[in-house]
A and B are shown apart, each in its own frame.
Chain A
Amino acid sequence: DGGITQSPKYLFRKEGQNVTLSCEQNLNHDAMYWYRQDPGQGLRLIYYSQIVNDFQKGDIAEGYSVSREKKESFPLTVTSAQKNPTAFYLCASSTLTGGNQPQHFGDGTRLSIL
């Protein structure tokens, strides 16, 4: 089955700790995205990547870092510099071949502070 796998489903972070959220896709999509969702809010773009070894900051990149070493994988690290990391994190992917192609989403990771 083609899709996007995010892990873990739940994650807890201690003060001063970096944590990494995993996102893997087997849809052969070129573009991948990370969004943050706070309660009662829409999605805000953290980082996106359209090609391996290249990525761009979204609207709220401070305190986050990413890598894109393989087409299938786009891990997100929430660093200790992100002072309010508690949120629901969604990874998405899409083709770049046409404007009508939707982004496909994973099931999300819920991050909380211990």
Chain B
Amino acid sequence: AQKITQTQPGMFVQEKEAVTLDCTYDTSDQSYGLFWYKQPSSGEMIFLIYQGSYDEQNATEGRYSLNFQKARKSANLVISASQLGDSAMYFCAMREMSFGNEKLTFGTGTRLTIIP
């Protein structure tokens, strides 16, 4: 079974609107972390936001927030007031905190296009 599922291959959003990118995950660990990365067309991976499994509040970083629903195993990224520069691939990733395990598992990504 896939550990990270991103069901939206592509999304088109009008500039200045908010957008939600979906991510569901599968783990039997109690301790884990969820990350979102942005990949522009140039290829580099840019870290956006982190949510720990024990964090009681949803993470926020500027225009980015994470809608974390632990019981549903979902960690959706919300981008408020979208800008043209937000056009990119977005990846959700999970780190399971088993001892000595520092690996990330990535989803297949969502390509976001912001329309002027």
Contact = CB atoms under 8 A, between A and B. Distances in A.
Interface of A: 31, 33, 35, 40-45, 48, 50, 58, 88, 90, 92, 94, 96, 99-100, 102-108, 110
B106 A42 contact: yes
B50 A102 contact: yes
Given A42-B107, A99-B52, A107 B102 contact: no
| Chain A CB within 10 A, most for which of B31, B33, B104, B107 | B104
B108 interface: yes
B106 A100 contact: no
Contact of A42 (B42, B44, B109): B109
Interface of B: 4, 9, 31-33, 35, 37, 42-47, 50, 52, 91, 93, 95, 97, 100, 102-104, 106-109
B45 A105 contact: yes
Contacts, number: 61
A interface SS class: strand
Given A33-B103, A99-B97, A105-B44, 11 more contacts: A31-B102, A40-B108, A41-B108, A43-B91, A48-B103, A88-B43, A90-B43, A100-B33, A100-B50, A102-B50, A107-B42
